[in-house]
Amino acid sequence: MKTITKTIELYEFNELSEEAKDKAIKEHVDYLIDIDWNYEEYIPGYVQEAMERSEEMETPWFFGQYIYQYGQEYIVQELQDHDFLITGEQYFEN
């Protein structure tokens, strides 16, 4: 039998480099894009605004940019509650 103990260094969002922060934000925006909002009871205002803008401009490929544009402060605030690897990848316990 073997026992392996692994140490993982985790960082708060504010401790990340600018490059790692950008990666964390991009991954979070990608996560928001992938949600099927048609089945969600609550849609954050900035996501609703991004959806409406995408439809109005007929540019669904800009949905992620609109999410970031309208919700940057909310996204950064939400990321404050998570732990990250030094690369900006969000850490999830198994």
**pLDDT given for residue 39 in this prediction:** 84
Radius of gyration of the chain (CA): 16
Cα-to-chain-centroid distance, residue 84: 12
**pLDDT given for residue 57 in this prediction:** 92
pTM, 2 dp = 0.85
Reported confidence tier of residue 38, pLDDT bands at 50, 70, 90: confident
**62 pLDDT exceeds 90?**
yes
Q: What are phi and psi of 51, to 5 degrees?
A: -65, -45
Q: What are phi and psi of 78, to 5 degrees?
A: -65, -40
Dist. CA 75–CA 40, nearest whole Å: 18
Residue 74 lies in a domain: yes
Tokens matching residue 22 = 């950008």
Residue 20 lies in a domain: yes
**pLDDT given for residue 50 in this prediction:** 94
Tokens matching residue 91 = 């850490």
**Where in the sequence is the domain holding 58, given as residue range(s)?**
11-84
List 90's β-bridge partners, or say none: 84
Domain count, the chain: 1
